[in-house]
Every structure is written in C-alpha cells, then in structure tokens.
Structure 1
Amino acid sequence: MPSLEESRFQRATRRAGAWLIANDNWMTVAAAALFAAFILTGMTTSSIGMAWFSENPSDPDITQIGMPQWIRSDEYNVNSPLWMSMMTTGGPPTLSPLGAPADIAHRFSSGGFFETIVFFPTALLWMTSFLPDTMVFSLVWWLPMIFLVFSLPFWVERMGGTRRMGWLATLLIAFSPSVAWWSLGPVGVLAYAVAGSLALAIAAELFISRRFVRAGIVMVVAGILLASIPTVYAPWSIILGVPVLLATVLRIVATKTTWPQRIVPIAVSGSIALILAAGVFLENREGLESMVGTVYPGSRRSGSLAQSFAMLFGAPGYDALSRHDPIVSNASELSASFTVCVFWAAILIVAYRNFGRVRDNLPLIVLGAWTLTWLGWCTVSTGALGERIPVLNLVPPYRAAQVIGILAIIVVALILSKAPLRRDYTAAIVSAVTVGFVTAYAVSLFREEAAPTMQSWQILAAAGGAAIAVFFVTLFPRKLWPVLLAGVLALLPVVRSQPILFGLGEFRSSDVARTLQDLGAESRADGTYWATDAPGFESLMLANGVPSLSGFQRSGPDVAQWERLDPDHEFEFAWNRGGGYIPFVFAPGEELEITTSGFDTTWVRIDPCDLKERFPELGHIASAEAIDSSCLVDAGTANWSGRTVYLYETP
C-alpha cells in the first residue's frame, strides 16, 4: 500500500508540475501568492504614511519602507481618507455638504442600485464589518492591479497573441512610471476594460459552443466590468478602454461562425453595460451637472499640442524622478509609460512583414491605429482647430502623453507573438540600437529640461537597460527568461518611486483618530457638522467619519448650500469649482470673504459666530489657533502634525 500511495502522490506531483509549467501557469500562481501576501499584511504603496499625518512627526507610529511622495496629495489628502471614511461609516464618505454628490467622481456608492453594482470595488470597503481595515484597504488598493494581472495575458492570447507576450505587456504596464507616479491610476482605467473584454471573449466562446447558461453568466460579468469604461476618468478611458473593447468586438465579429453566434454575446453584454452606465449617470445627474457647470475644471476642450520628447520617450530614465526633484512641473505630471515601444513596434513590422490575413490581425490594426492617433495628438500642434474635433478634444494632450505608451506596449506584445520561428538577429540588433539611442536622447533632454543634477551614468544605464531588454526579448520571443529580464529592468526606474506601507499609519492607530471616530459617530447621529482650519486635520476627520463643512468639494458646488454663505453669488467665481479643497479660516469680528487659488482651492474666511448663524447644524470647530469667541465653548485639545489643535463646541 505505501508504494501505491507513493505512486499516486508522484503522479499528482507530476501533473501539478506539468500544469504549472504549461502556459506559464506558475506565474499566475506566483502572482496570486504575492497579492495574498500584500493583502494579509495590509501592504500598499500609499503615501498616507507621511510623518505630517501623525501626532508626533519626529517619532511617527508608521511602518513603511521608503519615503512617501508629497506630490501625491490627492491620494493621501483625499482618496485614501475617503476610502477610510467609507470603512468607518459603513456607507458614503463624510464629504462637505457644500459640494454636490461626488459618487461618480470617486466611484463610490451612496446606496444607488446601479452605482453599487458598477462601483463594486469601493463597495468592498464595507467588508470591514468582518475583516480588518488594513486588509480591506489593501485589497481595494491592489484590486485594479489584480484584475490587470489575471486578465491581460489571457486577453492578449485571445486577440491573436501569446500568453507569454501577454505577461510581457503586463509587467511593462504594471511597472510604467505613470502607473507608479499616479498611484495606479492608469491601471484603474485599463484593468476593468481588459477584464470586461476578456469576459466578453469568453462569453462568445461559450455561446458558440452552446453552453448557454455559462455564457449568460459571463455576459453579465462582462457587462458589469465594461460599464466602467464610460464611468472612469474620461481622458484615459478614451485612450485605453475604448480600443481594448473595440479590438475585442472586431475579433469576435471576425470569428468563422454564424452571425447570431457572433452578435448575441456582444449585444447582450453591451446592453447590460449601457443600461448600468446609464443608470449610474441618472443616479449621479446632480453631481454631473454641477461638475460640468464649474469654472474649474468645467467642460474643457483641448486641441493637440506637441509634448516634450523627453516626457514621451524618456520613461526608462525616470529613476531620476525618485532621486531629483524636477525643476519644472512635478514627478506625476512628467511621468509617462514606455512610449519608446512605438519605435520597437515599427521595426518589428518591417522585419516580420508577413502577418497573415487582415481578419486575423484586426486587434493589432485597431490598437496600432489608436496608438498612432494619440501619438499624433501629443506631437503635432493644431491649436483651435483641434478643439473642434469630437472625442479627441476631450483629451488634454499631456494626459495622452502619460499613457499612450501603455497601448504601444500591447501593440509590441501582439507583434512579437507573430515572430518567425528563426532567430532574427537583425531585428533584435536594430530594435535594441534604435530604442537605446532614442532613450539616451530623451533622457538627456530630460536632464536638460527637468533634472540638471542627473548624472551621465544614469542616462547610459537607462539606455543600456532598455536596449538589453529589447534585444533579448526580440531575439527570444518564445522564451520566458527575457520576459522576466525585461520586467526587472522596467521595475528599476520606479522601484524607489513610492513607499511600501504596512497598515494605515496614524489615521487609525493614534489616540486622536480613535477619539474622532467616537465624535464622528455622535455627529452623524445628531446630524451636526464640524469645521476646521487646521492643515492635515481635515483628512484625519474625513478618514474617521467626521461630517465637516470644510474639507473637500470633488465634483462641484451644491449651489443651495453655498447660497447660505453667499446668497448674492458675490464670490461664485471662487466657489464654483470641482476636484478641490475648501479650507476655512476663522476670523472673529471680520466680514465673510471667499477666495480661490485660481484652480482647485477655495478659502472661506469667516467669523465662527457668523458661520454658526448661517449653519445652525454646526456643532464643533477644530482650529490650529486658540479662538476667543463668545459663541464657542472649549472642548479640549488634540495633537496632530506636531501641533495642538483646539476643539470647540458651538452650542
């Protein structure tokens, strides 16, 4: 018997080993284990671990590796505290009532039927009722990357590529500088479009094979995921989401089967997606109308405009953004993906020549044409003429420049999947030399334009790394080790760009955070609000579910609420803004004044007693300075950001 049991074990082991090796399944398993470790340890790359967000910045209770990035202010001031607010309240975040509903701006649900389905990632935040906050936050943080990793290789395979080249695309996209410096933002746009398109392709396969029940279930999943395309950040969604879906639809239509078998999965999934998206827009029409009517950002239209060659093609050298503060703009705005892949793709097309029938290459044609269109949008200036081109004018050229390289990566992956069996040394050498030279020139320009302290060895290292990756992947497109090598080399420019944070820092662990959770629960129950002028304290209040008049106006203004402050619209230019911040300044005895930075910040300077008169539901004030006012009652102090915050009740 032992020998029989041993032989069974050996057979099972061999089968498992064969499965892991086949189609690089071990990479899927390794990725699953990696994400599980991230989530179980509460690991993210959030910058909420800044010492500023602690009671004692000289000795913060924060566990992290590396340095938080000050430039990611929307992430650590708003996005992450907003998620924590939802975890605290078990419902919508406690954003300022001065702002119109911001559900669609931040993709969270306030209980609407359609938005709860479409915005399911943030709905997962309510799992804190039975799971630790740190694990739930980490899960939602990594969810876009999880969808990308577990869908893109298989989607590339169904678009006529190979799964191995799909892994190449996944690694290069995941490690793109614009993904790192925008807190995974581009992946959040791309991942659900790819996952939905993959589900659509699978649904078509099931429908064609007459497995109708399974096909129907997958069609529903596809519809839910594809509804993200019109409900995420529009400029990036147009560039990344739309071509992925279009390529998938054309791939299905080109299938050799009956027309009903081709059309039904597309029609059903598309109808579900459109119904869900329309439902989300209807549920959020108030916020959308407010957003469109703002002075900033408003309904902006853009023409094409030539972007810096350094920005477009210098991504392999963006380690400099971690080592040197740029002298122009900032790291997030300067970051891009590996747009240099455009040159690589062009050389491969000339080298390979024979790609087979057009119908078999429709995804490649669509993605290639889309890439060239948007590359033209950020390399050729058209001025006012471009502002009149529908769809294109919705995308600022600098936003296109940040993500167009992601499409170029996918195009390269599809082309390499069609590489001839023979090793093409000429293609490998020409590709490597070209990419290396373009990278060296772009990074050199980047030093001149933005990072003058950058060293020459960094330029050579960036160009050399890019050339090495391109050479070996082109020479051995069917081997796995060049893919892994390219992934490692792509990681190097961003490995130091973001911190590795474990937990939620002092947004949860500090005494003041625990106190605010209790006070916030009382205020929510009483229907009262707080207001503060203390920098950094507003984010702490939001994270712990404290309702506040000051704080954040993310979609646009609630005009009726602002009229309680400014009934004659004297200061409308200052408060009619979205995507921004509403800090208060308490000035006893002074007249109301509302001013703006000209972009996304609106300051409300007001006497606390005047504020209480206009908003009787005001219950507390938290101030960075002691206030002597007849309408305030001392309620103690708190420590935050190394400063004393004075708390007052407004009876």
Structure 2
Amino acid sequence: MLKTTRAADRAGAVLQPVLQWLRTGDNALRVAVVAAYAVMVLLGATTSSIGMGHLRQDPENPLGTQLGLSSGIRSDEYNAYSPIALSVMATGGAPTLSAMGARADLVHRFTSGGFFESFVFFDSGLLKLAGFLPDANVFAAHWWLPVLLLLLMMPKWFEQVGGTRRMGWLAAGLIALSPCVAWWSMMPVALIAYTLTGSSLMITAYHRFNRGQRLVAALAGLAGGILIAGMPSFYTPWSLVLGLPVLVASTLWILTRAGSLWTRIRPVLLTGVTAVIFGIGILVENSEGLNALFSTVYPGSRRSSAEAQPFALLFGAPALSPLQNGSVPVQANASELSTSFAVAFIWIAVLLAGSRLVPSVRRGIAAWTVLAFGLVWLGWCLVDLGSLGEKIPLLNLVPSVRSAQVVGVLGVIAVCLLLSMVDGRRWKTAVVAALISGAVTAYAASQMQAQYLPDMRFLVIPVAGAAVAVVVLCVTRYPHRSWPVALAVVLAALPVYRANPLVFGLGDLRESETAKVLYEAGTEARDNGTFWASNLGSFDTVSLANGVPTLSGLQRSGPDMEMWQRLDPDNEFEEAWNRGGGYVPFNWAPGAETNITTNGFDVTFVQVDPCVLADAMPELGHIASTTELQVDCLQAERTLQWSGSPVYTYRVLQD
C-alpha cells in the first residue's frame, strides 16, 4: 500500500505541472491542433478530390474510403497539384511532368535538387519521406501542413505585434473557413502560412537578440528569411496580396520599437538578407522555366488593371452555402465565385468611427499596415483604372477578380488586430456595427441570388445577414472572451463544411492494379531515360501520380522549345503550344498530318501519327491508347483499365 501511495504521489507530481501548463493561456488549444494534425496524418485523411470518377480504374467500384462528394470544379487540384505531390513521392525527386514543358519548380513549390530551392521548398522535401513511411500518411502530412502553421502561428504573431492570442485564433479560424479556401483547395492558406511563420520568426529574432541569446536569434532570423524567400512561388498574385502585408507589418513593428537603431535593424537585416539571397538563388535556379513562362502566348507577361467587381462577389461570402448543396452558379463557377469575408472592412469602418480608444500609429502599426494594404487591394476591386492600372508596379501582377477573392483575409486580420486594441465595452458601437455589417451581407446575398445563384432559397439571405450580425455584435462587445470566438468559428463553418470530401488514403491513384503497373513502369522508364505518351488525360494523371515520365500530360511552366520544334520545326503551330500552366493531350491519327491546336487558354491538342512521334522523339518508349492501334512502329504489350475503359499499351519499336 505504501509503495502504491508513493507511486501515485510521484505520478501526481509529474502530472500537476502538465495540467497547470494546459490551463495556462491557450496551451490546451495548441495541443488540440497538433493532436488533430497527428490524427489526420495517421489516418491518411485529406480533403482532396482525387476520388473523382475519371481518376478510378473502375468508377463503379472505387477503392478506399471517402465521405462526401469530390469537388469537380477543383480540376487543378486533382489533375495537377495532388498528382504532382504523389509523383514526387514516387520518384523521390522531381515530378514527372511532361517533357514538352520547361522546369516548373517555382510554379509548384517542388525541388529538382537545386541548393537554394531544397531549403526554401522544404515542404516538398517532406514528400520524400514516402521512401520510409506510407504514402497516404506522407501525403496527409503535406496536405495539412499549411493549416497547422496558420493555426499555430497566427495567434503567436498577433501576440508579438501587440494583439491578443484570442483574436489571433479568431483570425486564423475565419481565414481557414473562408469560402475561397474551401473552393480553392486551401491554396490561400498555403500562400500566407509560410510567410506568416517567417515573419514571426523574424520578430522572435528581435526579442532573442535583445535578451542576448544571439545563437537562437541568428537561427530564427535565418529560418525566417528562408521561409520568406518562397513568397513569390506557387501563385504569385495571391502571394503578393496575402503574404506581403504580413511581412511589411512585421518589419515596421520591429523598426518602430524603442531602443537603438542597431537593435531594431539587426533582425530585419539578418532575415532580409537571407530572404534576398535565397530568393535570388531560387530565381537563378529556375531562370530557364521562368523565361519560358514569361515568353509564352498564354499567360505570358500579362499585366492587369483595376476593375470594378460586383458587390455580390465582394461581400457575399457568408451566403455561399448553396454551393456545397450542389447549386451551379451562372456567369461563374464555384471557385471563381468564392471569396473571403470582405465585410470585415465595413466592420472596421464602424469600429473606428464609434470607438473611444483608437490605437496610436506606433502601438497599432501592424493593424494599420495590414488595413492599408487591404484598402489598396479593395480599391483595386472597386475602381476601373483602364490602361493606367497596367502601369502600376506589383498591382498590375494581380487580376482584379483574384484580389476580390482573397482581400477579405486582410480585412479579417486587420479587424481582429484592432479588436485586440480598442475599447470593446460599448454596446452602441457593437450594435451599430452588427446592424450595418448584417445589412451589407444581406444585400450582397440578394445580389448573389439575382446574379449568380438563381436557385438560392430566400431564407439564405436573412440567415446570412443575421449570422454576420450576431458574430459582429458578440465579438465587438466581448473581444476578450472566448465564447464569441467559438461562436464565430462555428457559424463561419456552416457555409463550407461540406464543400470538400474527407478522403482516407490515396484510392485508385495508388491502390488500383493499373496504378501498381504504372508505378513499376515509371521506375523502368526513369532508369532507361524513356517516355510514355497517351491520348487520355486521366491516364496521364495516374501516370504522373506514379512517377511515369511522359510527353503528354502537364506543361506547368512554359514550353521546352527544343522538344516542341522536333514536332513543329517551322514553328507553324507555335501559338498553340507556346503556353504555360496547362495540359498537353495527344490524339493518335495514323497516316494523318501533324496538327497542333489550342482551346485558347491552357490546353494544347496534338494530333499526330504515333510513328511520326516516335521518329521525332527517339526517347519515346511506350504509347497508351483508348483505341487499338495497328501500325508498324508499335508492338502490343498489355491492356489496362482506367476511367472504366480499356487502355491499350504498346512498346515503341525504334529502328
């Protein structure tokens, strides 16, 4: 009995500090976030739409477990982003994009082995753990990493720049649950999370230097600079809108602190120089692909101007719940229609007009900076500048509609920072802000019904307005309580929680017999330096996902001029193939003349005799076709099944 009592006392002595730590601040919430991430990783669960019917061996008998329906509109995700990630896992290096395209590392945040990009695109390095760990778990870890960083770092960053962690959690929740995040496969989160983390590390370096902890400060500054260096990658327009304000706000916060100039400039200089060195490094390593992309007919070096966007598009995010119920918009699609909570700017206007305590410029420098950027990008969506707008640096890189889709993220960050600093005890301000914000939302919802979602039920309009009003009222009145934050997050989740499926594992892209055959074929082709080519886009997708080098498939950067000129030596069809960010499907036409056409945007159609292709491309090893081919240069090998149909594979007989 005495031994049992002593053991219990020792256990209590160990647990008591742990329990005390969990009761302090928001430590329990952070633990819950990390635990949720771990659970999703262990289950191999994501919200990917790779379970689309055309990405199945037999659509009537799908493999794996999926809750909810795949999102058909997210073709870039299930045809490109996710297969590229799976391809990195299969090869242990660069993905097997179409050999007709130039290097696309910067466009898709993966590394082909370059020194600088190996550090900056560390998240793609995570995918290489598939050589030791199950593919589904590694894919899930990569999928949720930006969300994990957002949820952990936003509250910390808020606290660092003078806000409260509670409002930081609210900002992170509203960003993660924005319709633009749900209907763009979490892309906006990925485009702010790494810059946010890097900016927070820069502020950490500032504090550590002040405490005399130079080694820790130096490591934090270096890590922050490396993370910030990746800001222009992936999708640059949104990186500028979302990442740049956070970086500038963090920099100005440090530079406006008390103390000597060297004390303030040292962490900024360390982080900034690191970011510049690594940023230039990845640009140099990817110069070939960038030059090819900028020289394309589409998208080329396009410049955009400010354009007035519809009121419904800007402020209608809370009323987009019909999209998850299957409503099909007119004049747009679900992704193009999805935005964030730009009504936050209306909330800010009333808050500042009615508050007795507006933070000073120095105290609220982060809030004012983010708000200033937000107003600039909001103006980019409200005023038509014509050709004048195309001459404004940085802004002209962002199409107005793209700004409209994510500018609400800046509004959310700004209002949450201000709520951390202004007087929240006045009912009058809270009520006025709630009524005006709710009315704006209801009007935007009615316009949404009139312009985009004619089958929207009338009840959605008052409910969306009321939900926004309740959130604004409660959060404004009680900004230092936790329950309004929880209420806001729950209500924000209602329009999007069924937008995407919950998928466990990798389904047919890894587990089907066809995928397994292609996985082995990919290893053989990479060892031999040969390519495959097919006339079925979905077969190209499963080939990419399993590391099969291809000629058809994805041309995500600009074209490889030398490869295309083998097919088109006189550049007769250059306007059709000199494109980036798109797809290259082949059409087998024995005996016909080679013809290359385009849909005018991102698809290049190649009609070619398979033997002509084999003559032009000596590296061509296999051809896959949905129809049987009887030509002298091909030898039938085996028949696979994909998308519910037979796919005939042939070995190319080279002279």
Length-normalised TM-score, structure 1: 0.98
1:189 aligns with 191
Tell me, yes or no, if the aligned pair for 2:58 and 2:644 is still in contact at 8 Å: yes
C-alpha distance in 2 between matches for 1:120 and 1:356: 38
1:308 to 307, 310, 316: 310
2:390 to 387, 390, 396: 387
What is the DSSP-based 3-state SS (H/G/I as helix, E as strand, rest coil) of the residue aligned with 1:70? Answer: coil
C-alpha distance in 2 between matches for 1:59 and 1:93: 28
Q: Which letter does structure 1 place at the counterpart of 2:235?
A: Y
Tell me, yes or no, if the aligned pair for 2:364 and 2:418 is still in contact at 8 Å: no
1:582 to 557, 565, 584: 584
2:126 aligns with 124
1:242 to 241, 244, 259: 244
Q: Deviations over 1:319-358 (max 9, x none)?
A: 1212201122211111100001111111111122423432
1:222 aligns with 224
CA RMSD of aligned residues (A): 1.2
Tell me, yes or no, if the aligned pair for 2:359 and 2:422 is still in contact at 8 Å: no
> What's the offset of the Cα at 1:51?
2.1
1:474 aligns with 2:476: yes
2:42 aligns with 40
Q: Which letter does structure 2 place at the counterpart of 1:300?
A: R
- Consecutive unaligned residues of structure 1, counting only runs of 5 or more, are none
What is the DSSP-based 3-state SS (H/G/I as helix, E as strand, rest coil) of the residue aligned with 1:563? Answer: helix
1:637 to 630, 636, 639: 639
Sequence identity percentage? 48
1:97 aligns with 99
C-alpha distance in 1 between matches for 2:9 and 2:611: 83
Tell me, yes or no, if the aligned pair for 1:231 and 1:277 is still in contact at 8 Å: no
Relative to 1, partners in 2 of residues 1:211 and 1:444: Cα closer, same or farther, differing over 3 Å?
A: same
1:491 aligns with 493
Tell me, yes or no, if the aligned pair for 2:155 and 2:169 is still in contact at 8 Å: yes
2:33 aligns with 31
Q: Deviations over 1:149-168 (max 9, x none)?
A: 11011101111110000000
Tell me, yes or no, if the aligned pair for 2:254 and 2:264 is still in contact at 8 Å: yes
Q: Which runs of 4+ in 1 moved over 6 A?
A: none
2:159 to 157, 160, 175: 157
C-alpha distance in 1 between matches for 2:262 and 2:307: 44
Tell me, yes or no, if the aligned pair for 2:595 and 2:606 is still in contact at 8 Å: yes
What is the DSSP-based 3-state SS (H/G/I as helix, E as strand, rest coil) of the residue aligned with 2:96? Answer: coil
Tell me, yes or no, if the aligned pair for 2:357 and 2:423 is still in contact at 8 Å: no
1:503 aligns with 505
C-alpha distance in 1 between matches for 2:68 and 2:468: 25
C-alpha distance in 2 between matches for 1:82 and 1:493: 29
Q: Which letter does structure 2 place at the counterpart of 1:346?
A: A
C-alpha distance in 2 between matches for 1:344 and 1:509: 49
C-alpha distance in 1 between matches for 2:466 and 2:493: 14
1:367 aligns with 2:332: no
What is the DSSP-based 3-state SS (H/G/I as helix, E as strand, rest coil) of the residue aligned with 1:23? Answer: coil
2:596 aligns with 594
C-alpha distance in 1 between matches for 2:301 and 2:373: 24
> What's the offset of the Cα at 1:5?
5.2
> What's the offset of the Cα at 1:471?
1.3
> What's the offset of the Cα at 1:212?
0.5
> Residues 12-161 of structure 1: matches in 2 within 5 Å?
12-161=14-163
Tell me, yes or no, if the aligned pair for 2:357 and 2:422 is still in contact at 8 Å: no
1:520 to 502, 519, 522: 522
1:378 aligns with 2:381: yes
Tell me, yes or no, if the aligned pair for 2:343 and 2:408 is still in contact at 8 Å: yes
1:346 to 343, 346, 349: 349
> What's the offset of the Cα at 1:302?
0.8
> What's the offset of the Cα at 1:6?
4.3
C-alpha distance in 1 between matches for 2:111 and 2:608: 33
C-alpha distance in 1 between matches for 2:23 and 2:383: 46
1:204 aligns with 206
C-alpha distance in 2 between matches for 1:22 and 1:61: 45
Relative to 1, partners in 2 of residues 1:11 and 1:467: Cα closer, same or farther, differing over 3 Å?
A: farther
> Residues 248-287 of structure 1: matches in 2 within 5 Å?
248-287=250-289
1:321 aligns with 323
Tell me, yes or no, if the aligned pair for 1:39 and 1:136 is still in contact at 8 Å: yes
> What's the offset of the Cα at 1:269?
0.9
Q: Which letter does structure 1 place at the counterpart of 2:343?
A: V
2:402 to 399, 403, 422: 399
> What's the offset of the Cα at 1:647?
0.8
C-alpha distance in 2 between matches for 1:498 and 1:67: 7
> What's the offset of the Cα at 1:510?
0.3
> Residues 506-585 of structure 1: matches in 2 within 5 Å?
506-585=508-587
Relative to 1, partners in 2 of residues 1:35 and 1:310: Cα closer, same or farther, differing over 3 Å?
A: same
Tell me, yes or no, if the aligned pair for 1:419 and 1:477 is still in contact at 8 Å: no
> What's the offset of the Cα at 1:419?
3.3
Tell me, yes or no, if the aligned pair for 2:85 and 2:95 is still in contact at 8 Å: yes
Tell me, yes or no, if the aligned pair for 1:432 and 1:470 is still in contact at 8 Å: yes
C-alpha distance in 2 between matches for 1:11 and 1:351: 51
Q: Which letter does structure 1 place at the counterpart of 2:360?
A: R
C-alpha distance in 2 between matches for 1:434 and 1:279: 49
C-alpha distance in 2 between matches for 1:599 and 1:547: 24
Q: Deviations over 1:51-102 (max 9, x none)?
A: 2211211121131111101111111011111111111111111111110011
2:358 aligns with 355
> What's the offset of the Cα at 1:573?
0.2
Relative to 1, partners in 2 of residues 1:259 and 1:308: Cα closer, same or farther, differing over 3 Å?
A: same
C-alpha distance in 2 between matches for 1:96 and 1:556: 11
What is the DSSP-based 3-state SS (H/G/I as helix, E as strand, rest coil) of the residue aligned with 1:251? Answer: helix
C-alpha distance in 1 between matches for 2:561 and 2:202: 42
2:648 aligns with 646
Tell me, yes or no, if the aligned pair for 1:319 and 1:496 is still in contact at 8 Å: no
Q: Which letter does structure 2 place at the counterpart of 1:418?
A: M
What is the DSSP-based 3-state SS (H/G/I as helix, E as strand, rest coil) of the residue aligned with 1:346? Answer: helix
C-alpha distance in 1 between matches for 2:23 and 2:422: 22
What is the DSSP-based 3-state SS (H/G/I as helix, E as strand, rest coil) of the residue aligned with 2:55? Answer: coil
Q: Deviations over 1:101-157 (max 9, x none)?
A: 111111111111001110110111110111100010011111111111110111011
What is the DSSP-based 3-state SS (H/G/I as helix, E as strand, rest coil) of the residue aligned with 2:27? Answer: helix
C-alpha distance in 2 between matches for 1:9 and 1:639: 59
Q: Which letter does structure 1 place at the counterpart of 2:103?
A: P
1:416 to 416, 419, 428: 419
Q: Which letter does structure 2 place at the counterpart of 1:204?
A: Y
Q: Which letter does structure 2 place at the counterpart of 1:369?
A: A
> What's the offset of the Cα at 1:217?
1.1
Tell me, yes or no, if the aligned pair for 1:564 and 1:614 is still in contact at 8 Å: yes
Tell me, yes or no, if the aligned pair for 1:343 and 1:435 is still in contact at 8 Å: yes
C-alpha distance in 2 between matches for 1:398 and 1:356: 32
Corresponding residue pairs, total = 650
